[in-house]
RNA sequence: GGCGCCGUGGCCAAGUGGUAAGGCGGCAGACUGCAAAUCUGCUAUUCGUCGGUUCGAUUCCGACCGGCGCCUCCA
């Protein structure tokens, strides 16, 4: 199947054809979490977008080498470690564990590597050295090393911001470091007392210190993926300054293009505003689990809006996703159990795959892929109602569903059944069957109602009665 | 102040210079002892407002109104 894959590139502000430079493996770097606090759903929206991207890249036929960094040394981590009398590692280790648990809950595929900033200090120092050698970085009086943006002419090409002036209304930097130029950013920060105390200081040619935030990503990306990446992704708020600075550092050191494509996911909002820790309106994966919001529902919710569009988290939207995903789950089971199909089923399957691929390859149009899936489910259900004995049509339908769901991954998980429950339910259902046989529907309905009250759905099918635990 | 995004039915949300996908919800019908699931039909003469370009605009341009984001903590 030919189909060109197209992706929006922040560098050019256009949707462009994309393919990996070597034609086979996409080398992508995705900015990961700063691990001082469990990541919130806003962070996960971005990670979900990246999960979608890597799955679509594979659907297109490429392999993927994804790196997601874990920023395990930074101001907030040091602050927290200091407050609690811990080392930064003692702060970050448990948070990293939570990150992976949340990641798995949301069915976000494991990236090929999760480098920790603290494990790449030598590479970072080498990068700073290269920049100093090339004359685009300097050590200031405070001992820190800064990148001199006016010695890097293309600075600003990604964000297209006029960095010359800081206007009224802009947040003003309260920098405690001394720099030549207000826009220069720290590559290497001279160690302070609390850095030493929390294990956040390393030896370097410029004295004890620690890496600047931007430096971490450049060093890890280039160490693990080479000097020119195919793709670099993150949240839209990283465009400036983080990604702009990464470009400056990396290209300033190598003279080569750092990343061919830059992709940014839009924000997740809560109550109409950005979800951010400092605004105190964050929701986490833990909140979702408490409210029995399945991963499938979250994915459906997130993928129902294009990744470059803001998305507002609301109870109504989540509820809608939960219901939609229930229909998908019912259909998935029905597909497994069906014996045969019809020619029209096969035709619907072909259309679904074609539409979903076209949508996904067109700048990750997940909402449209979801629509293709739903349209397929409607058509397939109608055909299945009609019966049919065509085995190959059935297989084609299963393949189509597996292919699309292999990207979206929106079938709700089965609710686990605790020991002993099955026997108890079966016993009650036997009683109910007897009641129905003697047409004592009041008794039969009472049993069904009591089971439903504890989260057991009872359905009478032509083939017999089936029960499922729904929560 | 600079830069940028958005405004589509009750809710969520695609999309296109040629006459509005899909989901949720709701209503009616089929099926069922009744339900559930599923199916069928209905649910925006209209895409923030006002102008302009055009044979034709929701889609292009301009203004305005409303919401949001970035301008060195930030997914």
pLDDT bracket for residue A276 (50, 70, 90): confident
- Which of chain B's bases lie under 7 Å from a protein CB? 1-6, 11-15, 21-25, 32-40, 67-75
Among the listed residues A239, A179, A186, A236, the one whose alpha carbon sits nearest the alpha carbon of residue A75? A186
DSSP code, position A409: -
Q: Is any atom of strand B within 7 angstroms of residue A37's beta carbon? A: no
User: Where is A16: in which H helix or E strand?
Assistant: strand A14-17
Among the listed residues A217, A236, A219, A68, the one whose alpha carbon sits nearest the alpha carbon of residue A158? A236
| pLDDT > 70: percent of chain A | 96
- pLDDT at residue number A305: 96
Question: Ramachandran region of residue A77, left (φ > 0), alpha (ψ -120 to 50) or beta?
Answer: alpha
Domain boundaries, chain A: 6-167+176-277, 293-408, 421-469
Report the SS3 class of residue A469: strand
ipTM value of the model? 0.96
Report the SS3 class of residue A212: coil
Give me the A residues in range 418-457 that sit within 7 A (CB) of strand B.
436, 441, 444-445, 448, 457
Contact A28, A384 (CB under 8 A): no
Choosing among 3.40.980.10, 1.10.730.10, 2.160.10.10, 1.10.3110.10, the CATH entry for A293-408 is: 1.10.730.10
CA of A461 to C1' of B37 (A): 9
Report the SS3 class of residue A402: helix
Quick: pLDDT tens for A125-158.
999 999 999 999 999 989 999 999 989 988 989 9
CA of A226 to C1' of B72 (A): 27
pLDDT bracket for residue A162 (50, 70, 90): low
Residue A169 has pLDDT above 90, yes or no: no
Among the listed residues A243, A218, A251, the one whose alpha carbon sits nearest the alpha carbon of residue A159? A243
Residue A174 has pLDDT above 80, yes or no: no
- pLDDT at residue number A176: 46
Phi, psi of A228, rounded to the nearest 5 degrees: -125, 115
- pLDDT at residue number A439: 95
CA of A434 to C1' of B4 (A): 68
- Say which residue the tokens 């039969």 belong to: A444
With CA of A272 and C1' of each nucleotide, the nearest comes out as B68
Contact A445, A428 (CB under 8 A): no
**For residues A122 and A82, what is the distance between their CA atoms, to the nearest angstrom?**
25
Contact A17, A273 (CB under 8 A): no
Pick the residue with more confidence: A271 or A246?
A246
The residue that minimises its CA distance to C1' of B72 is A241
Classify domain A6-167+176-277 by CATH architecture. 3-Layer(aba) Sandwich (3.40)
DSSP code, position A331: H
Average pLDDT, integer, range A258-262: 96
Quick: pLDDT tens for A322-334.
999 999 999 999 9
Q: Is any atom of strand B within 7 angstroms of residue A169's beta carbon? A: yes
* String of DSSP letters for A270-317: ETTEE--GGGT---BHHHHHHTT--HHHHHHHHHTS-TTS-EEE-HHH
Q: What is the distance between the terminal CA atoms of chain A, rounded to a whole angstrom?
A: 41
Average pLDDT, integer, range A285-290: 93
CA atoms within a 13 Å half-sphere pointing along the CA-CB vector of A47: 26
Q: Which residues pair with A17 in a beta bridge?
A: A6
Q: What is the mean pLDDT of chain A?
A: 92
pLDDT bracket for residue A172 (50, 70, 90): very low
Retrieve residue A321's tokens: 């996703």
Retrieve residue A345's tokens: 């089923």
Among the listed residues A298, A304, A308, the one whose alpha carbon sits nearest the alpha carbon of residue A372? A304
CA of A423 to C1' of B29 (A): 39
For residue A17, count other CB atoms closer than 10 A to its CB: 9
**For residues A140 and A123, what is the distance between their CA atoms, to the nearest angstrom?**
21
Average pLDDT, integer, range A62-66: 98
**For residues A360 and A185, what is the distance between their CA atoms, to the nearest angstrom?**
38
Among the listed residues A61, A82, A85, the one whose alpha carbon sits nearest the alpha carbon of residue A73? A82
Residue A40 has pLDDT above 80, yes or no: yes
């Amino acid at each position: 199947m030919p189909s060109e894959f197209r992706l929006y590139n922040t560098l050019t502000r256009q949707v462009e054809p994309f393919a990996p430079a070597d034609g086979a493996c996409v080398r992508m770097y995705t900015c990961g979490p700063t691990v001082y606090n469990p990541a919130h759903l806003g962070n996960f929206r971005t990670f979900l977008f990246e999960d979608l991207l890597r799955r679509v890249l594979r659907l297109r036929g490429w392999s993927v080498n994804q790196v997601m960094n874990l920023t395990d040394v930074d101001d907030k981590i040091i602050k927290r470690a200091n407050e609690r009398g811990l080392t930064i590692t003692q702060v970050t280790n448990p948070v990293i564990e939570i990150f992976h648990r949340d990641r798995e809950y949301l069915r976000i595929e494991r990236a090929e590597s999760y480098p920790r900033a603290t494990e790449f200090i030598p590479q970072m120092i080498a990068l700073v050295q290269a920049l100093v050698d090339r004359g685009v970085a300097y050590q200031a009086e405070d001992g820190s090393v800064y990148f001199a943006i006016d010695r890097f002419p293309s600075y600003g090409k990604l964000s297209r911001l006029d960095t010359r002036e800081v206007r009224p209304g802009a947040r003003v930097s309260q920098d405690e470091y001394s720099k030549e130029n207000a826009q220069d950013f720290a590559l290497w920060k001279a160690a302070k007392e609390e850095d030493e105390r929390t294990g956040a200081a390393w030896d370097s040619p410029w004295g004890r210190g620690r890496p600047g935030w931007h430096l971490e990503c450049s060093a890890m990306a280039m160490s693990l993926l080479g000097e020119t990446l195919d793709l670099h992704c993150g949240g839209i708020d990283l465009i400036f300054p983080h990604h702009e600075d990464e470009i400056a550092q990396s290209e300033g050191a190598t003279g080569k293009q750092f990343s061919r494509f830059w992709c940014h996911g839009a924000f997740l909002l809560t109550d109409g505003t950005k979800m951010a820790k400092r605004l105190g309106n964050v929701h986490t994966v833990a909140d979702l689990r408490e409210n029995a919001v399945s991963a499938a529902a979250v994915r459906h919710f997130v993928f129902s809006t294009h990744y470059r569009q803001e998305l507002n988290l609301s109870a109504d939207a989540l509820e809608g996703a939960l219901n939609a995903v229930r229909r998908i789950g019912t259909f998935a089971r029905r597909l497994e159990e069906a014996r045969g199909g019809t020619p029209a089923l096969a035709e619907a399957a072909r259309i679904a795959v074609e539409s979903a691929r076209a949508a996904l390859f067109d700048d990750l149009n997940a909402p449209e892929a979801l629509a293709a899936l739903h349209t397929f489910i409607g058509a397939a259900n109608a055909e299945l109602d009609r019966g049919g004995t065509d085995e190959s049509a059935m297989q084609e339908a299963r393949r189509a569903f597996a292919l699309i769901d292999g990207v979206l991954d929106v079938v709700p998980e089965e609710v686990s059944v605790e020991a002993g429950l099955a026997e108890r339910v079966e016993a009650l259902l036997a009683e109910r069957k007897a009641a129905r046989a003697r047409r004592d529907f009041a008794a039969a309905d009472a049993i069904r109602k009591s089971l439903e009250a504890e989260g057991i759905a009872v359905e009478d099918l032509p083939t017999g009665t089936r029960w499922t635990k729904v929560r």
